[in-house]
Structure 1
Amino acid sequence: MASSRDRQRKLARAKLDRQMARRAAALRRRRQIRAGVGTALILVLVVAGSAWALGAFDREPTEDTAAPEVCLWTPQNTEGNSNLKDVGEPATTGLPTAGTRPMTVTTNQGGPISIELDLAKAPCAAASIAHLASQSFYDNTNCHEITAEGALRCGDPSGTGLGGPAYSFHSENVPTAPESSPAPATEPPTYPKGTVAMISNPPGANSSQFLIFFKDSISHDPAYPIIGRVTGGLDVVEKIGALPTVADEAGQKVKPENDVVIQSLTVGEPVLDPASPADPTGTPSPAVSGSTEASPNAG
């Protein structure tokens, strides 16, 4: 009996030793794994810290590739105002801001009248007129006034002085008022003969109406933004300026006795001055607005 109990004790002891050995081996493996993970983590932190110190995580500032807005158009409320005509708005970006743009006006009084729009000094006025010309906005409309300053007023389909498109834009290139003292012996004209300028009511809310000066004009409080000049057909403008006038609806004797009708108004592609740098917008010029191909009513 004693020998049987001894064997059982030995077997139990051996089993316990095996269990303890397995537990010890498992504990050693866990410690090795933890040590390996810790070492790897330290290595990752060292590498990341070195990369950060060398600027690997620095981001280059993202370049804003959006085209800058050249012009802003202010919508006008057309409800209850039959004088305004909604023909959309010109683009605000990608507009040419250098060189000139040819504009041709043909009237029932003869023509054509050739005009050079100044893209450097009045890019928004040029963009607006080009857009309106592409919509045949000016075709078959009257130049409804011969102004006291010596200019032909055109561009209002309603013929009231209150008409235009359903947007407006701010003035560009308004002349500086001459100094009051000392007065020069011969004061230069504010608006020389052949000047083309915008006109609006109130001043600064320009839309479609423009002036073509057929004689020199001096203003001590100039309000008309200069947008270009006549390069051909000034004799036609002078002929129209000499027409007799009758009273308009407001009772002012400014309306030409014989209707002066714009049969067509077209605007061609921008033309860069050979001496000027390329278009500073860095973008292609818009398609032709109101050219002979774009305006079926062009004559």
Structure 2
Amino acid sequence: MTRTPIRLAVAAGAALLVAGCSDDGTGTSTTTTTRTATATQSAPAYTGELPERPAAGAPVDCSYTPDGGAAKDVAPPQESGVTTAGSPAVTMSTSAGPIGLTLDPAAAPCTVNSFVSLAGQGYFDDTPCHRLVTSPGLQVLQCGDPSGTGRGGPGYGFDTEYPETAYAPTDPTLSQAVVYPRGTVAMANTGQPGSNGSQFFLVYADSQLPPAYTIFGTIDEAGLATIEKVAAAGDDGSMGSVGGGAPNLPVQIESVTVTS
């Protein structure tokens, strides 16, 4: 299976996600989808604020659905009794400098569970951060694809969590952008249900996106300094109209260590 590229783009001052058309390996093309951050007449006044973050509660069950070949062989995470408590610390060593994260299982237990599982199996080790975006309104470094193509994943997918789950499915504000603050770490996806995998993005300046990208942690100041150094060198523009490209200052994740 060839995975749809996971891309965040900026157009006309608003953020959108574009999932390109690709062959799934059986000769069938996937459907091109576009999710835009546009207001509707029935939507409330735009504030840009994220909804209230969930509090920790009872353990939850998660579902990780096989979706084709993995970019690097790994076992799927456990699915039952996943904790919503704690704040695991992540030490990410990269060729550009250290990036520290604090994960948030209360907001995104299934996402944190997957990230911790992948990190423990060495999935992120010796992999590139393949995309940098420096556009006004979207300033992120995207990582988590061992193939470096924007198509790679762990061989399974799972559903979006906070902030999308803080809204009713028919809430018109789901089509409006919210501010993903500087220092946020969130999951990339294709716009299709269940398309979260291993790719994540690191927000180094406030960015506007629909609330469709799971927020699962924060970046420390040393990590932000590392990312800002990469951003200052710019990108090669290879992503074209969807925005950004490979960082001119390459970022190779050397190792990822998680401690409770």
Bin the TM-score by the shorter chain. Answer: 0.5 to 0.7
Q: Does 2:142 align with 1:156?
A: no
Structure 1 residues 240 and 97: alpha-carbon distance in aligned structure 2, compared to 1, 3 A threshold: same
Does the residue aligned with 1:246 lie in a helix, a strand or coil?
coil
Does the residue aligned with 2:253 lie in a helix, a strand or coil?
strand
How far residue 85 of structure 1 moved from its aligned partner, in angstroms, is 3.0
Q: Distance in 1 between matches of 2:122 and 2:115?
A: 10
- Kept after mapping to 1: 8 A contact 2:59/2:84: no
Deviation string, structure 1 residues 158-208 (Cα, Å, up to 9, x no partner): 11111010111100102569969xxxxxx9x61000000000124441010
Cross-structure match for 2:204: 214
Give aligned-pair identity as a percent. 39
Deviation string, structure 1 residues 44-66 (Cα, Å, up to 9, x no partner): xxxxxxxxxxxxxxxxxxxxxxx
Cross-structure match for 1:146: 132
Structure 1 residues 110 and 68: alpha-carbon distance in aligned structure 2, compared to 1, 3 A threshold: closer
Cross-structure match for 2:36: none
In structure 2, the gaps of 5 or more residues are: 1-57
Deviation string, structure 1 residues 126-182 (Cα, Å, up to 9, x no partner): 1111111111110111001012410100000111111010111100102569969xx
How far residue 259 of structure 1 moved from its aligned partner, in angstroms, is 1.5
Q: Which runs of 4+ in 1 moved over 4 A?
A: 175-180, 249-253
Q: Does 2:90 align with 1:103?
A: yes
Q: Does 2:229 align with 1:239?
A: yes
Does the residue aligned with 2:111 lie in a helix, a strand or coil?
helix
Q: Distance in 1 between matches of 2:244 and 2:216?
A: 27
Q: Does 2:213 align with 1:224?
A: yes
Structure 1 residues 103 and 203: alpha-carbon distance in aligned structure 2, compared to 1, 3 A threshold: farther
Cross-structure match for 1:264: 255
How far residue 105 of structure 1 moved from its aligned partner, in angstroms, is 1.1
Structure 1 residues 258 and 115: alpha-carbon distance in aligned structure 2, compared to 1, 3 A threshold: same
How far residue 224 of structure 1 moved from its aligned partner, in angstroms, is 1.3
**Greater helix proportion:** 1
Q: Distance in 2 between matches of 1:143 and 1:118?
A: 22
Does the residue aligned with 1:100 lie in a helix, a strand or coil?
coil
**Greater strand proportion:** 2
Does the residue aligned with 1:91 lie in a helix, a strand or coil?
coil
**More divergent stretch after superposition (171-180 vs 253-262):** 171-180
Whichever residue aligns with residue 80 of structure 2, its letter is T
Q: Distance in 2 between matches of 1:104 and 1:212?
A: 14
Q: Distance in 2 between matches of 1:241 and 1:225?
A: 23
Q: Distance in 2 between matches of 1:225 and 1:69?
A: 17
Q: CA RMSD in A?
A: 2.8
How far residue 248 of structure 1 moved from its aligned partner, in angstroms, is 3.0
Q: Distance in 1 between matches of 2:85 and 2:256?
A: 22
- Kept after mapping to 1: 8 A contact 2:189/2:197: yes
Bigger radius of gyration among the two:
1
Does the residue aligned with 1:190 lie in a helix, a strand or coil?
strand
Q: Distance in 1 between matches of 2:60 and 2:105?
A: 15
Cross-structure match for 1:92: 79
How far residue 231 of structure 1 moved from its aligned partner, in angstroms, is 2.7
Whichever residue aligns with residue 258 of structure 1, its letter is L
How many residues were matched structurally?
191
How far residue 91 of structure 1 moved from its aligned partner, in angstroms, is 0.4
TM-score w.r.t. the length of structure 2 is 0.66
